[in-house]
Structure 1
């Protein structure tokens, strides 16, 4: 799913776009809405959306003011406005696309296709950069951190403190060695690629485990990993049994 923020000072416009996306563009998950630039800035910081559908003409601060206030935004922008005259300015702000109100469904679908391609390319570049950064180091320092954005706050968590990650549909729960838990609205596979170089192993479709915390394997059913400081059993899928043994040098 692609996370989206809708910003418009009129509730009726927000509800209309949200309904169109829910009905015709199932790939888009509207995680929040905002009726002002200041409210939108808070949501952007806390939720880190993939795309922002941004109204231009708003009181106090318009859409362009919002973008000017952000430090190197890393999301796509789709301007949504009733004023065609803003087209040239939208291009200057490197917007991914530009939709005129009232929104045409066919044009909306074309825009969403652009969003999907852009988000995939951007995430692939992030993964590649992460890999190159790791390869540039002779060894992992143990000080690396990962940003975990919950609905209320973004936490910078040391990778070495993550014991395991558990998937639930398009959400992932991170379990830390100090007992803290963070629920993140992103699927597990995105973190698997990011964390694998740091010794994390996918032992099950729903479980990603930090190898440093594995203390034993319990040979019941298809097998379970036992982690230090816990009494929980992490299941091993039958298809991954050989892989897990190889990763643990068994």
Structure 2
């Protein structure tokens, strides 16, 4: 079987809203893939999109029960499991290695998702991590612990060290929203759009702020402007997906999560979208 061609047919069926045709095709692929983990994850992801959750989880259960012997390969599986929402399995695998030492950020992120916030922070502190994504994760951890002053301090440092890109800016904006400073967050986002009305990161930041503030049409407008110029902009894709979720368009939102995961495997934005779909569709 040409699995890539089969996956393309399934994706086209989803676009054409032929959802009932997805499960039989996926089952055929699973039956012929000889346990290929990458193929199994693709199948599970497609089933999650069309909300065939039972068989999706059955596939993932099989992956967890038949982990590779090599610990480095198990790490790759753990990251993929986290990306599809199996947080506990991801954490359990990463903390079970006998010789392999997992990347501190990846381990801390999986630890964060199982709500072991102090442990996640300790992992990053011990590794002395000060790269951008680790500092953003530290900001999220401190917010989860209710220490918004420390979170803001790290958010400001992240902008100082790594510049005014979407990830660093939305990180600070997020701290403001989570600490109840909604007006400050909106003002912060607007200040960057005033600085440049053509900067995609600034427009995506404004889209995020509008969405969090409940102004969905404005959020969609700003995100659409970004995506017309850069269809891979993860921040704009996430905002569009979250707006679709608010409108109960879960399948289209999950398709955007898939696009994010294709562009940047394991990106937390895809996890947030899938998590929001799960919470609001239940």
For Structure 1 versus Structure 2, the TM-score category normalised by the shorter chain is under 0.3
**Larger Rg over CA atoms:** 1
TM-score of the two chains, using structure 2 as the length reference = 0.23
Greater helix share, structure number: 2
Greater strand share, structure number: 1
